[in-house]
Amino acid sequence: MTAPILPGSTVGVLGSGQLGRMFAIAARRMGYRVHTFSPDYDTPTGQVADVEVRGSWNDLDAVRAFASRVDVVTFEFENVSSESTAAAEAVVPVRPAGSVLHTTQNRLREKRFLAGLGIPVTPFAAIGSVAELEREIERIGRPAVLKSAGFGYDGKGQSKIGPGSDLRTAWIAAGSGESVLEAFVELECEISVVAARGIDGTFAHFGAVRNDHAHHILDVTTAPAAVDPAVARDAVDIARTVLEALGVVGVLCVEFFVSKSGALMVNELAPRPHNSGHFTFDACVTSQFEQQLRAVCALPLGSTEQLRPAAMANLLGDLWSGGAPRWERVCAMADVKLHLYGKAEARPGRKMGHLTAMAATGEEAAARVRAARALLTAI
């Protein structure tokens, strides 16, 4: 039986973005201290943490020194080198383990892992050159999507290949390195399941939620998703299979495509809290961030009961193009919550914060959160 890491202990976070910020808020509320490590300073996580350590992921001595000052290490950012993870694991427990990170931070390894479990994924092929791309596009067909195998998110390192697309241009757009070619699927919608697994194998989930994207970036999440109950149950079952097969201790999000026929295909895995789970901070008994803390500290998982239907809308840097948004307008709206991440510079496409709205139904909440966001820049 693994002894729990109790309040008063120190949790180390590799990464320093908004996910770490909300994790730190949850941890400090429960009496934990938080240290964060990343190459940056005055970060969203660092503004809330007790200690902010600035260092390179390649400085393994710095990673080991960081780990030596905490009781357990977790992630808010998965693009950490395997060497850094191993350096931390040599000092303290790292949850989820580095093996989970190794699988999920590379699209090709991830696809092969899922296919090996018999979990449905889009037809795919490994691509290592333009010649391979020319050969495999004939098998996969057009349209298709070419994605860099590593270090991609929010549409980065991706190129859609249509009937007239030049393959060499697509190869360059995807980074000219190890890539994954995926068949393009006509979708009904995209959904995700944020779930947690405890040190004792206990499983908990926040249900299936609907994700609507704009320019490859999550725009609005609606919880719960208005999908066939059987589809929602299957998505949760797949999430459980994934967490158990990976041996996850912590939180992991499974992103799904739902085809026009209602078939599920796993798109990506994220071994950490997820943008689509932000609504849990306001709408659930236990947020995804507190759940991550409970799991990595070997505490019992919390209730995932959703108190009211909810929707989350991202606030991107584009909203600042005409000046500071009118925050007082959304603060005057009942059942709308404002979350800002403490980022000093607003850039187009940069996630600066989010809004959560609650209502009688998920669809009403989605309409409300979109209306609230529109008020921020309305003349």
Q: Which domains does the chain have, with CATH numbers?
A: 10-94 (3.40.50.20), 123-183 (3.30.1490.20), 187-375 (3.30.470.20)
Cα–Cα distance for residue pair 232/254, rounded to 1 Å: 12
26 residue type, one letter: A
- Which H, E and C letters describe 67-124, residue by residue? HCCCCEEEECCCCCCHHHHHHHHCCCCECCCHHHHHHHCEHHHHHHHHHHCCCCECCE
Q: Are 346 and 352 in contact (CB under 8 A)?
A: yes
Q: Is the pTM of this model over 0.85?
A: yes
Burial pattern 322-346, b for ≥16 Cβ within 10 A else e, equals eeebeeeebeebebbbbbebebeeb
Residue 227's φ and ψ, nearest 5 degrees, are: -125, 165
In DSSP terms, which residues pair with 53 in a beta bridge?
37
Peptide bond into 93 cis (omega under 30): no
Nearest C-alpha neighbor of 46 from the set 25, 77, 67, 61: 25
Task: Report the interhelical angle of 229-246 vs 107-116 (nearest 10°).
Answer: 110
Cα–Cα distance for residue pair 143/162, rounded to 1 Å: 5
> Can you give the pLDDT at residue 379?
84
Angle at 377 between CA 376 and CA 379, to 5 degrees: 120
Residue owning tokens 């991440």: 341
CA atoms within 13 A on the CB side of 138: 5
> Can you give the pLDDT at residue 81?
86
Q: Which two tokens stand for residue 139?
A: 């098998």
Q: Are 181 and 124 in contact (CB under 8 A)?
A: yes
Residue ranges in the chain assigned as alpha helix (H): 18-29, 60-67, 82-89, 98-104, 107-116, 130-140, 167-173, 229-246, 280-283, 288-296, 327-331, 362-375
Residue owning tokens 């187009």: 348
Q: Which two tokens stand for residue 123?
A: 């037809």
> Can you give the pLDDT at residue 153?
61
**Chunked in runs of 10, what are the mean pLDDT values of the chain (379 residues)?**
95 98 98 98 98 97 98 93 93 97 94 97 96 96 93 72 94 92 94 98 98 96 98 98 98 97 96 98 98 98 98 98 96 97 96 98 98 96
